[in-house]
Structure 1
């Protein structure tokens, strides 16, 4: 499990260590420590080291305790073990060991072996030895390069690593053995002196297993563990204690060992125990994610939002391609940031990635919204990461850009803005009280009874509806509002009429009367139908962009397809649209404009306009709104014409690989200097030629619709082993993010976990709860034995079983 613990700054290489030579009987240890001397004898050097160690212990004992969960991950930021409180040093060591060595990242992906040419690219990386850092002070030696400053000379890396590891009885191997002993609780002193009977040990395991399984179910539902009053006489002690008591009532054997029947200091129900159980599940879940990721590259999706206690939380999601070729986006945690400047966010991301053994050099894509501190070209988070990794390409969230398109149209076109303002007032008036909503439902029920003979029946049809309130930052919700407004149009008119007649206050009655007059206008009906159609066309795009497995190439095609539909509607759809509006007006006895009459401007009714109604509604209204929409699509989605996407399109399997172009694909490979060396770049054109010849002849690759399906098919047919360079390039393309919808879902989950009644939940507790609540599919796969094992290793003074 622990393989020498050699780590780099932010990364390590377990496979780089050579096998240690066995010690011969006549060999002498290169490092004399004095531990092999007979009892009662001690050299002067060992005595000096002992005195220095005791002095360091006295200095460390005067320091305050620290939070082991906030230990620095960067080796340069780590303090000496002797500087920690003497009673907390083992806890610090255990925290670093449970965190584990960092994953290999300086290696050219996807291989995981040391080669001199590959390592020379990463001379800035330094290798540190974790086990020597943790226990070298026990031997009084702090001069080792791998402990203090790190090693970064890769010319003779094998020789230096072999020398550092040394013989069987070397200082490094002794430190490594101490690391293994620290995590082996069965040989601890308190375990050896444990006089409990086997029955007591079985009862403890049963009690702990029950608490752990119960915690898993509560985490899966995002439910609270604690209750407001957990005293003995409380009628509701909280979900955890109440459900544990229920489990004891259903299982007689379990009921005999839990709660009051358990020792007072070993009931496994305290808040600290519950927090440790959450942390264990979260760490095991993250372990699955990082094992699935392996040594592969990934993209970073980041956004920040306030929780219910007004703390700024930064959510971090990674996007990668798993071993079977499926694109996955996984949430890895929340970080509380006191300010949202780019430097603060960058520091928080560095710390999180280092804690999980990831590195910025493995990032191949960044996905943010349009905030300047995130996507700023010069000083934003995007620019700071690009300075360290030129292959971390930035993609502006497509869903956010799509939202900005609709917002721009609503702000630039005055009549559209007025319509949305009217709809807001209308929603407030109709949905202001439960009485008015009941009136709306009753009106809808009577209407359905009249149309009972002609209605289609079935599951989900003819349901009760109310006028939904549109979201300020979710303009896609306006489509739902407009569609319901058109469906409930006569019912809303009836409710407004009742408010006018029976209004309790004069302002309320006047507001309803004004809204009633606005709804009867032809312009209002015209614009709500126009925006409903536009939002209906773009609604499909919005839904597709929010899919986790959506790749960048398909997203670009969807944007182009949506733009083409709007252009076609502008050229050919006015007559059909006008018939739809006129039929709606005839149905509800509204005024219908004669298109041949001269248009009269309501502001200046006596002034001649010299244009017909048809000219005004077709050119000044219909075409003007659609032109604004199409123009904003072209301005916002400017990445469509970029060189990167042009090169990516050449890998598309659509139309039997008709867009395949080797020169552009080679340009794409040149944008990833960390993933292809010079030898592989020379081999790539030949492999691309063999690859395109193979896939065009194979019928399985004939009807593919995107890069995602192509990669999955390559893995299922084992072709990715033959064309490794092409498969690597396809994975790099799929890793590029499309939208930050997954991050937004994380914030929605955070609001379910941290509510008004749970607004004091801690940052780490919140992050652990959100990880388990969001990644439910992985939570189900976490084995109970792994959680129990991790729980036991977290602290020393815990009973064993």
Structure 2
């Protein structure tokens, strides 16, 4: 189990620091809770000081009654839980792919396409050779250092954020290359199954439906990928993340209302460029699964109503269902701290309610003092030009420290820090797990837990260890005990 602490430093910056790996015998909530208690005790930390916890949606972690979240909340009611936004966003993408028949078929074909093209080194080399020839034959393509480098198809994965978007972008740019590789497989395959599979994929890639779904999902995933990348920032605060979720939903709604014509232009242009037959929108739609049966609908109705509108409605609805934290009372109170539009969202009553939610951080006298401090605070910051054009609560905290207003308004600054402590995503935890691949390799697969934890700590928090000179390390080891020779 990887444990990462999130805190606000003395300068008002949000920090996420890896503190260690813990070996657990099983992944039950009780076992994980016991491991966390042991880790906190080793570092003289108190679980009662925790003001937020974030995990994925697994039942042992976020279970309402017996999950790790519930066990910590029983001990500390102020440790509010936030379901990882990045995991929820990935579930939106996966959920869409499984609920809509045509999109599910499309992603299934894309997965088969990537697996077939990248199945062997020989096929990968053929793809690279086709790319080199296309770059050399086209005089309009500019080449040089950092330009038009060799690309390869990326495998989409349900657990890898942004992988679907990357796959579709590569597929559009490498469309002619992929098609040539499939032709090569058709003629040089060692058995009929691979040859037939390559023929079927070529046929599917030459259909208008494939190009339509390719560009539709590329645009949808492009909108959601912007949110995905923003959520993985270490200093991202939850209020800004909620604003990004709302703006993402708005972009999807705008695309649903006005985006079909521009999408159709992109699809038509792509089809003309690669000699793909473009269907006429006013003709009757023919279902490829039953060509003799009349559908009594036009191609426009099929692609607009049954696909474009339906897919976007499902995406918007799924975003609303997954991100339930946006409407919670806690975040509604925290939103009053937002400095945007000259503190337009400021609400004294909501901020007083926010202080009530943290009974261990505000005693009776401080709550009474907070009423007057909020009035002086809002009047001061609205007139101070240093607080103009701030993007979020994290910027507000840093500006408070810079102008020393955190000393003038300590209780307000405490509310700001509490809002920054809520975790947005578990990206730092995921990165720590990924770093283990670099530390515990096949050549070092028998290292103990303590040694692996120390190595991971040095690798993940390398920015601290880069400040330590080699001479200091040698001096430390030299003074540990008497040695025959000077290091």
Q: TM-score by structure 1 length? A: 0.59
CA distance in 2, matches of 1:344, 1:785: 42
1:493 alignment partner in structure 2 = 179
Helix, strand or coil: the match of 2:5?
A: strand
Match of 1:596, SS? coil
1:781 & 1:674 partners in 2: Cα distance?
37
1:380 is matched with which residue? 67
Give me the whole-angstrom Cα distance separating, in 2, the residues matched to 1:498 and 1:702.
Answer: 61
Instruction: Assess if the C-alpha contact under 8 Å between 1:470 and 1:477 holds in 2.
Output: yes
CA distance in 2 between counterparts of 1:694 and 1:376 reads 44
Cα distance, 1:502 vs. partner?
2.4
Aligned pair partner of 1:619 in 290, 305, 312: 305
Q: In the alignment, is the contact (CA less than 8 A) between 1:407 and 1:475 conserved in 2?
A: no
Q: Distance in 2 between matches of 1:791 and 1:361?
A: 37
Alignment match of 2:319 (pick from 618, 621, 633): 633
Q: Which of 201, 208, 211 matches 1:522?
A: 208
Shift of 1:666: 0.4
Distance 1:767 1:501 in 2: 52
Distance 1:528 1:515 in 2: 14
Distance 2:83 2:477 in 1: 41
Aligned length: 485
Superposed CA deviations along residues 423-477 of structure 1, whole A, max 9, x for unmatched, are: 111112111112111111121222222322x234565221111212222411521
Q: Deviations over 1:466-496 (max 9, x none)?
A: 2122224115211111111111111111111
Please name the residue that 1:607 is paired with.
Answer: 293
5 Å matches for 1:253-292? Answer: none
Indicate which of 62, 71, 76 corresponds to 1:389: 76
1:655 to 341, 353, 358: 341
Q: Render the CA deviation track for 1:280-311: whole Å, top value 9, x for unaligned.
A: xxxxxxxxxxxxxxxxxxxxxxxxxxxxxxxx
Inter-partner Cα distance in structure 1 for 2:179 and 2:457: 47
Select which of 739, 746, 750 maps to 2:425: 739
Return the match for 1:361 from 45, 48, 72: 48
2:455 is matched with 769
Structure with more of its chain in helix, by fraction: 2
* Match of residue 227 from structure 2: 541
Is 1:434 the counterpart of 2:121 in the alignment?
yes
Q: How does 1:326-345 map to 2 (within 5 A)?
A: 326-345=13-32
Match of 2:192 among 493, 506, 516: 506
Structure with the larger RCO, 1 or 2 (CA within 8 Å, 6+ apart): 2
- SS of 2:78's equivalent in the other structure is coil
For 2:187 and 2:469, how far apart are their aligned partners in 1? 66
- Structure 2 residue 138 is matched with structure 1 residue 451: yes
Rounded Cα–Cα distance in structure 1 between residues aligned with 2:298 and 2:160: 37
Match of 2:7, SS?
strand
How big is the shift at 1:783? 6.6
Q: Does the 8 A contact of 2:161 with 2:228 survive in 1?
A: no
Is 2:439 the counterpart of 1:757?
Answer: no
How far has the Cα of 1:780 moved from its partner? 2.3
Secondary structure of the corresponding residue to residue 743 of structure 1: helix
- 5+ residue gaps, structure 2, are none
Deviation (angstroms), 1:715: 0.5
Cα 1:793/1:390, change in 2 over 3 Å = farther
CA contact (8 A) 2:92 2:315 kept: yes
Task: Determine the C-alpha separation between the residues in 2 that align with 1:418 and 1:648.
Answer: 42
Query: Following the alignment from structure 1 to structure 2, what is the Cα–Cα distance between the partners of residues 390 and 791?
Result: 45
Trace 1:118-133 onto structure 2 (pairs within 5 A): none
The offset of 1:757, in angstroms, is 1.7
Q: Do 1:406 and 1:475's aligned partners in 2 also have CA atoms closer than 8 Å? A: no
CA separation of 1:325/1:338 partners in 2, compared to 1, >3 Å: closer, same or farther?
same
Q: 1 CA distance for matches of 2:57 and 2:398? A: 32
Shift in Å, 1:786? 7.5
Aligned counterpart, 2:91: 404
Taking structure 1 as reference, are residues 472 and 403 closer, same or farther at Cα in structure 2, changes over 3 Å only? closer
- Pick aligned residue for 2:328 from 597, 620, 642: 642
Stretches of structure 1 that go unaligned for 5 or more consecutive residues are: 1-313
Q: Is the 8 A contact 2:73 2:79 kept in 1?
A: yes
Q: Deviation digits for residues 91-126 of structure 1, max 9, x if unmatched?
A: xxxxxxxxxxxxxxxxxxxxxxxxxxxxxxxxxxxx
Higher Cα radius of gyration: 1
Matches within 5 A, 1:26-37: none
- The aligned residue for residue 780 of structure 1 is 466
Could you tell me which residue of structure 2 aligns to residue 423 of structure 1? 110
